Amino acid sequence: MSFEMAEAILLTIATAATPLLIAALGELVVERSGVLNLGVEGMMVMGAVTGFAAAQLSGSPWIGVLAAIVAGAVFSMLFAFLTLSLATNQVATGLSLTILGLGLSGMIGESFIGTPGLKLQSWVIPGLSEIPLVGKFLFAQDPIFYISILLTICVWWFIFRTRAGLTLRAVGDSHGSAHALGIRVIRIRYLAVLFGGACAGLAGGQLSLVYTPQWVENMTAGRGWIALALVVFASWLPWRVVAGAYLFGAVTIAQFHAQAQGIAIPSQFLSALPYLATIVVLVLISSNRRMTMRNTPASLGKPFVPER
């Protein structure tokens, strides 16, 4: 493999990994607060279509990015209202968020099918991006890549180094005790879900403004679900989410290169790789009960209704 090619592959792996990383980080914060939002796929696809539409209508991809974030956040509030204010089943409500998101995005995006999209321009940092091999990977990326790295640091710092992060974890581990201490469980969970929605929206915007600048129906193609699996894979630790996201980015890209090289495996089998890899990884992680139990938020998925 030539040097240039290795450089290019690294770059594309990052582009494939970034939406997974961002969506999974958002969901990690949500789950740390004790809420399981299975609507990531729906919020992501809403972010993708809104971001694309806003960029088209305004002519600016940055407006698109903002719109994607807002769309994901607004959409997540639907989930928050039902699960937190009305104490509905989180699994079923998350599923309905995904079903609604896929339907609504299909309707909104119908008139944009086939329209060439606007691409968010990369930020090339002069000098540093000339470093061999890793220069382009680290310093000639699209802005959302930089945001994803910054976000990882911020989420880690927030969860483990701030008082608010401690409160978030307390709420996720024992909402009853947190409530007894005077912590406003429902409010904190609303904020966490809002953050998760914004992240999922941004991840979707990355897909339709950077990764493949166009609108295709169901263009998230299960990435929201893979992001959910990554949170389990990472056992709720931000740094492991990075590792997981890049692992999956690599699998995705490997599959494209295998297809381009004309390897004699049907393309459908290669396309199935990321999904199969997800299952394998989940099995490996979850069969190790000690490792998963240590960081699993104890109240995950349980509805909380304050007693009067």
Partner 1 sequence: MRIELVRRPNPSALYSALSPLLALAITAALGAVMFALLGKAPHLALYSYFIEPLTEVWSIHELLIKAAPLILIAVGLSVCFLSNNWNIGAEGQFIMGAIAGSALPILAPDFQGPLVLPAMLIMGMLGGMAYAAIPAVLKARFNTNEILSSLMLVYVAQLFLDWLVRGPWRNPEGFNFPESRNFHADAILPEIMSSSGRAHYGFVFAIIAALVVWFTLNRTLKGFEIRVLGQSPRAGRFAGFSYTTTVITTFLIAGALAGLAGISEVSGAIGQLRPVISPGYGFTAIIVAFLGRLNPLGIVAAGLVLALSYLGGEAAQITLGVSNKVSNVFQGILLFSVLACDTLIHYRIRIAGPARAE
Q: Residue 8 or residue 100: which is nearer to partner 1 going by CB?
A: 100
- Could you list the beta-strand ranges (E) of 27-159: 123-124, 140-141
SS3 261: coil
Q: Does 100 bind partner 1 (CB under 8 A)?
A: yes
Q: Which two tokens stand for residue 241?
A: 């989410």
**Of positions 3, 116, 161, 287, contacts partner 1 by CB under 8 A:** 287
Question: Which one among 279, 291, 295, 302 touches partner 1, defined by CB under 8 A?
Answer: 279
The Cα 159–Cα 224 span in angstroms is: 22
> Which of residues 162 and 218 has its CB atom nearest to partner 1 in the complex?
218
- Rg, C-alpha atoms of the chain: 19
122, 142 in Cβ contact below 8 A?
yes
Q: Which stretch binds partner 1 (CB under 8 A): 20-28, 163-171, 173-181, 267-275?
A: 267-275
Kindly give, in sequence order, each residue whose CB lies less than 8 Å from that of residue 99, ignoring residues fewer than 6 positions away. 42
**CA-to-CA distance for 222 and 228, rounded, in angstroms?**
10
- Does residue 242 interact with partner 1 by CB under 8 A? no
In the complex, least distance from residue 105 CB atom to partner 1, rounded to whole angstroms: 9
For 135, the token pair is: 């220069």
| Distance in angstroms (rounded) separating the CA atoms of residues 71 and 52 | 11
Work out whether 86 is an interface residue with partner 1 (CB under 8 A): yes
Check residue 198 for interaction with partner 1 (CB under 8 A): no
One residue of 8, 124, 216, 221 binding partner 1 per CB under 8 A: 221
Measure Cα distances from 103 to 22, 37, 53, 209 in Å. Answer: 23, 18, 16, 21
Q: Least Å distance between CB 3 and partner 1?
A: 34
Six token digits for residue 18: 């970034």
Query: Does residue 305 interact with partner 1 by CB under 8 A?
Result: yes
Q: How far apart are CA 139 and CA 142, in angstroms?
A: 9
Spatial distance between the Cα atoms of 264 and 262, rounded to a whole number of angstroms: 6
Q: How far is the CB of 228 from partner 1 (least distance, A)?
A: 6
Which residues from 8-67 bind partner 1, rule CB under 8 A? 38
Residue 53 or 140: the one with the smaller Cβ distance to partner 1 is: 53
The correct pick among 162, 222, 263, 298 for binding partner 1 (CB under 8 A) is: 222
Give contact residues for partner 1 (rule: CB under 8 A): 38, 78, 82, 85-89, 91-93, 95-96, 99-104, 106-107, 110, 221-222, 225, 228-229, 232, 266, 268-269, 271-272, 275-276, 278-279, 282-283, 286-287, 289, 292, 305, 308
